[in-house]
A and B are shown apart, each in its own frame.
Chain A
Amino acid sequence: MMHLKNKIAVVGVGTTAYGTFPEIDDYGLAARAFRNAVDDCGLDKGRIDGLLCCRVPFYARMGEILGLDPRWTIQLPPHGRMAGMAVVEAMIALETGAADYVALLYANIGRSRRVNYGGEEVAGVWDPWGFTSPGAAHAMMFRMHMERYGTTTRQLGEVSVAFRRHAGLHPDAVMKTPITLDDHAAARPIVEPLRLLDYCLINDGAVCLILTTAERARDLRKPPVLISGVGARDAFRRSAIPNFDPDFWYAETREAGEAAYRMAGVGPADVDALMCYDNFSPTVLFSLEGLGFCGRGEAGAFVEGGRLQIDGDLPTNTDGGHLSNSYMQGWALNVEAVRQLRGECGARQVANCEVVQYVAVTPCTRSIIYTRG
């Protein structure tokens, strides 16, 4: 992928309101996000010849609704870890000429349709022991982190507090009421050691990103945001417990991060803002260690004192993340990266923002480094 450095650009981003919208379905939300992204870049939608759908039920119906006949179409499964994977797929399609302008669409109606995670009707291996849900898997990992490194739930609370503060500065965010470390500690336990404020929100909404080559991007409305680096590594051999890894995907995160840094020619010290997949708060600690923002086992101490907050050393999830902005499964974090680099973030804008990193530490770990064009 090295030769793709700065060759592909994000030119348009669009999001919907976030909340509970029983009156509209996922296609309708995706169409709104698409229209907003098209308006954002000023592209004639007839030129979009690539379509990627994630969590939108059926790509053909989506294309019908939007009036698109692409040359390149991909449907990804409705899993949380797909956003970074989608961006990489789109880069490859644009580089090879399989498509010239790609729209990536994600929609989620899990809130109004009452989707629950855990206790699925399809029986899982560990169900007979009562073990289910991605949150429980992360609780299991965080307990290991506590035992190995002495990390505390109060340190974990720093993550939730920082992101909630950012959500308060973000007009679109779902959860804006400020919280304290004590609120975090007093929140209802769900699967201990995790509590309610360690869990992502579940809400409806949709996101669209439009990508093209850096060359074509110059003709569009806004300054392009370049994709300077990407890195990837999956971990399926150790995936017997869903959403769990006995080593917190450390080696995979290191590898994906190093690949992205090498390609972009930057390091952790150059990152002005981090967009970190926060399905559950412990994932943020695993990400910081894997990417090398701090040493192994040191993320608990690293996040203390508001380091992840907008005025801290490493502003992270400036939109509020999954914990407080919106459950857009990584997609909204990629949009926030673009908006930060464009300087569109108002009260939550990171000053002199030039390098933004996205990371999703999951069984399919991906990292993307965005820079100003």
Chain B
Amino acid sequence: MLTYNKPLPPDDPLFAPFWANARSRRLSIQCCRACGDRRFPPGPVCPRCLSEDQDWDTVSGRGTLVSWVRFHRAYWAGFVQEIPYDCCLVQLEEGPLLVSNFAGPPPAPLRSGLPLRVVFEDITDRYTLPKFVAA
């Protein structure tokens, strides 16, 4: 694989299951085995009941477009060739918000509420980024 010079996920054990699942083409969010609370990003305890018994649930990968922006400035060298590029804000069917990208050109016309579904893009030998396309 070509050298990848965009930011990689932080090497944080809390997120490891998310990235492992993404590698296997599964989108997942953290869930509390004690009370059922679900969220992303993950935390060391459940913010509702404070239990440490946390796990990951695979979610549908379906969501809706909440918002989007177009970057005209590259904050990392790896994005210089990409600008302008888009980021989207997706509300998963299961609740949590995710910031992501459109895979390929953005759906047209863009509007909030547009149904989206996840696709997976391998970026390195280890990491796969969940991205979204029109459902």
B104 within 8 A of A: no
B9 within 8 A of A: yes
A189 cross-chain contacts in B, Cβ below 8 A: 70, 72, 84
- A143-B69, A191-B70, A241-B99 as given contacts; A130 in contact with B79, CB under 8 Å: yes
Are A140 and B89 interface neighbours, CB within 8 A? yes
CA distance A358 to B84 in the complex (A): 36
Are A129 and B100 interface neighbours, CB within 8 A? yes
CA distance A192 to B67 in the complex (A): 11
Q: B44: shortest Cβ distance to chain A, in Å?
A: 14
Contact of B66 (CB < 8 Å), options: A125, A188, A246: A246
A193 cross-chain contacts in B, Cβ below 8 A: 69
A139 within 8 A of B: yes
Chain A positions 125-159 with a Cβ under 8 Å from a chain B Cβ = 125-133, 136, 139-141, 143-144, 147-148
Are A128 and B73 interface neighbours, CB within 8 A? no
Are A140 and B10 interface neighbours, CB within 8 A? no
A241 cross-chain contacts in B, Cβ below 8 A: 89, 97, 99
A127 cross-chain contacts in B, Cβ below 8 A: 7, 9-10, 76
CA distance A126 to B15 in the complex (A): 12
- A119-B75, A241-B99 as given contacts; A129 in contact with B129, CB under 8 Å: yes
Are A124 and B69 interface neighbours, CB within 8 A? no
Count of A-B contacts judged by CB separation below 8 Å:
93
A188, closest chain B residue (CB): B72
CA distance A218 to B50 in the complex (A): 50
CA distance A121 to B92 in the complex (A): 29
Are A140 and B41 interface neighbours, CB within 8 A? no
Are A192 and B70 interface neighbours, CB within 8 A? yes
A147, closest chain B residue (CB): B112
B127 within 8 A of A: yes
A118 within 8 A of B: yes
- A130-B79, A147-B112, A191-B70 as given contacts; A240 in contact with B97, CB under 8 Å: yes
A122, closest chain B residue (CB): B10
Contact of B87 (CB < 8 Å), options: A123, A131, A147, A237: A131
B79 cross-chain contacts in A, Cβ below 8 A: 130
Are B73 and A190 interface neighbours, CB within 8 A? yes
- A128-B127, A129-B101, A140-B89 as given contacts; A118 in contact with B69, CB under 8 Å: no
Number of A residues contacting the other chain (C-beta, 8 Å)? 32
B33 within 8 A of A: no
A129 cross-chain contacts in B, Cβ below 8 A: 87, 99-101, 129, 131
Interface centre among A133, A140, A189 (most CB of B within 10 A): A140
Are A190 and B127 interface neighbours, CB within 8 A? no
CA distance A309 to B7 in the complex (A): 43
Contact of A136 (CB < 8 Å), options: B39, B41, B87, B112: B87
A128 cross-chain contacts in B, Cβ below 8 A: 6-9, 123, 127, 129
CA distance A139 to B99 in the complex (A): 13
- A130-B79, A140-B67 as given contacts; A123 in contact with B7, CB under 8 Å: yes
- A123-B8, A136-B87, A141-B67 as given contacts; A246 in contact with B97, CB under 8 Å: yes
Are B69 and A136 interface neighbours, CB within 8 A? yes
Contact of A123 (CB < 8 Å), options: B10, B97, B131: B10
B75 cross-chain contacts in A, Cβ below 8 A: 116, 118-119, 130, 132-133
CA distance A245 to B9 in the complex (A): 23
B17 within 8 A of A: no
Q: B125: shortest Cβ distance to chain A, in Å?
A: 15
B111 cross-chain contacts in A, Cβ below 8 A: 147
- A123-B8, A129-B129, A136-B87 as given contacts; A144 in contact with B99, CB under 8 Å: no
CA distance A292 to B127 in the complex (A): 47
Are A126 and B70 interface neighbours, CB within 8 A? no
B85 within 8 A of A: yes
A116 cross-chain contacts in B, Cβ below 8 A: 75
Task: Using A128-B6, A140-B67, A188-B72 as known contacts, list a sample of 19 further A-B pairs with CB atoms less than 8 Å apart, ordered by residue number in A.
Answer: A123-B9, A124-B10, A125-B15, A127-B10, A129-B129, A130-B75, A130-B82, A130-B87, A130-B101, A131-B99, A133-B75, A140-B68, A140-B69, A141-B67, A147-B111, A148-B112, A189-B84, A240-B40, A241-B99
Q: What are 22 sample pairs from A and B whose C-beta atoms fall under 8 A apart?
A: A123-B7, A123-B9, A124-B10, A125-B10, A128-B6, A128-B7, A128-B8, A129-B87, A130-B7, A130-B71, A136-B69, A136-B71, A140-B89, A143-B69, A144-B67, A147-B111, A147-B112, A148-B112, A191-B70, A192-B69, A192-B70, A192-B84
Residues of chain A whose beta carbon lies under 8 Å from any beta carbon of chain B: 116, 118-119, 123-133, 136, 139-141, 143-144, 147-148, 188-193, 237, 240-241, 246
